[in-house]
């Protein structure tokens, strides 16, 4: 029998298809950010933490009083803004990615279990997410920060703690849909265990949603980290993060705008790029859209 299913599909054609419509500018921004964050040790012109009071509050090089030694100026303690930006990007990206990985895994697992099991398990998990989602985020974060003490790990835990409930919610909804599909009933007829059905049948089908949600929330996690730092509950000084830099700079916003402005811009760029990238991923993973 002639199979139209075996029509030719070269690997090259597949790649072309997958790459079609990649948002090049956001992709470029993100790749640059990541490279800078990784190689900050080598490319940063100065130490991010070393203070130099004689050079404090220098403006960027194009303004009167600025110099090319400190391209983007210095902060109140005379630290190079550009170098801090590079290291800050590293910490912010690590924090947000780690938080997302933790929050996503936890939330997805609970969502899968709630959706698959139904009944009281479902009710229990969903009431827990209700509680999480109705607590004021910042209050919760501050509580956690105070009880755990400000540290790198704390921030990751806080952000993950706020995130998981959203994932659990959305994933549960998706699972409820997939669970009604005949292939799940057929898996049960074949004798598949609950674990097998969750891991082989349900999880792969919600993975897309999960990935897209995750990219969409990277930006949110960075902002969250920023807000926490802003409130003094973030990464402890002198370690730079984009959020803490904005927060440090706010006192000087009238006199030395560059201290807060550049990290702020960096956050904006990452968030925007991530969102655009997430939009693309959502479309790219949709098999129907991909075929058009």
Q: In degrees rounded to 5, what are phi and psi of residue 123?
A: -60, -45
Q: Which of 3/139 has CB closer to another protein?
A: 3
Phi-psi region of 262 (alpha: psi -120 to 50; beta: other; left: phi over 0): alpha
Q: Distance between CA 204 and CA 208 in Å, rounded?
A: 8
196 binds another protein (CB under 8 A): yes
238 preceded by cis ω (within 30°)? yes
For the CB of residue 102, give the shortest distance to another protein in the complex, in Å: 25
12 binds another protein (CB under 8 A): no
195 binds another protein (CB under 8 A): no
Q: Residue holding tokens 């959305």?
A: 170
Among 12, 64, 139, 189, indicate the residue that binds another protein (CB under 8 A): 189
Site string for another protein, 62-101 (x = CB under 8 A): ----------------------------------------
5 binds another protein (CB under 8 A): yes
For the CB of residue 81, give the shortest distance to another protein in the complex, in Å: 47
Site string for another protein, 146-185 (x = CB under 8 A): -----------------------------------xxx-x
Q: How many residues bind another protein (CB under 8 A)?
A: 27
Whether residue 120 contacts residue 184, with contact meaning beta carbons closer than 8 Å, is answered with no
289 binds another protein (CB under 8 A): no
19 binds another protein (CB under 8 A): no
Q: Which of 61/285 has CB closer to another protein?
A: 285
Q: Distance between CA 119 and CA 101 in Å, rounded?
A: 28
CA distances (Å), origin 9, targets 20, 161, 239: 16, 44, 50
CA distances (Å), origin 120, targets 76, 106, 113, 174, 244: 56, 19, 11, 19, 43
Interface with another protein by CB under 8 A: which residues?
A: 1-7, 181-183, 185-193, 196, 200-201, 204-205, 207, 287, 292
């Amino acid at each position: 029998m002639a199979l139209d299913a075996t029509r030719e599909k070269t690997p090259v054609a597949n790649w072309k298809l997958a790459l079609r419509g990649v948002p090049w500018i956001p992709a470029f921004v993100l790749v640059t950010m990541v490279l800078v964050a990784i190689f900050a040790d080598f490319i940063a012109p100065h130490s991010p933490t070393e203070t130099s009071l004689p050079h404090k509050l220098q403006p960027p090089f194009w303004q009167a009083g600025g110099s090319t030694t400190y391209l983007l100026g210095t902060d109140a303690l005379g630290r190079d803004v550009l170098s801090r930006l590079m290291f800050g990007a590293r910490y912010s990206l690590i924090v947000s990615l780690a938080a997302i990985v933790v929050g996503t895994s936890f939330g997805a697992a609970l969502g899968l279990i709630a959706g698959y099991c139904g009944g009281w398990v479902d009710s229990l998990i969903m009431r827990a997410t209700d509680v999480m989602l109705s607590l004021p985020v910042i209050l919760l974060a501050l509580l956690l920060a105070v009880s755990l003490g400000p540290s790198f790990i704390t921030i990751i835990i806080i952000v993950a703690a706020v995130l998981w409930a959203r994932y659990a919610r959305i994933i549960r909804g998706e699972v409820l849909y997939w669970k009604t599909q005949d292939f799940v009933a057929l898996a049960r007829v074949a004798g598949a265990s609950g674990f097998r059905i969750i891991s082989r049948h349900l999880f792969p089908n919600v993975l897309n949603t999960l990935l897209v949600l995750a990219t969409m929330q990277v930006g949110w996690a960075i902002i969250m980290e920023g807000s926490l730092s802003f409130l003094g509950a973030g990464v402890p000084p002198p370690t730079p993060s984009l959020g803490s830099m904005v927060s440090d700079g706010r006192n000087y916003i009238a006199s030395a705008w560059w201290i807060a402005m550049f990290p702020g811009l960096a956050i904006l760029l990452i968030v925007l790029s991530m969102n655009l990238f997430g939009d693309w991923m959502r479309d790219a993973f949709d098999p129907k859209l991909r075929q058009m």
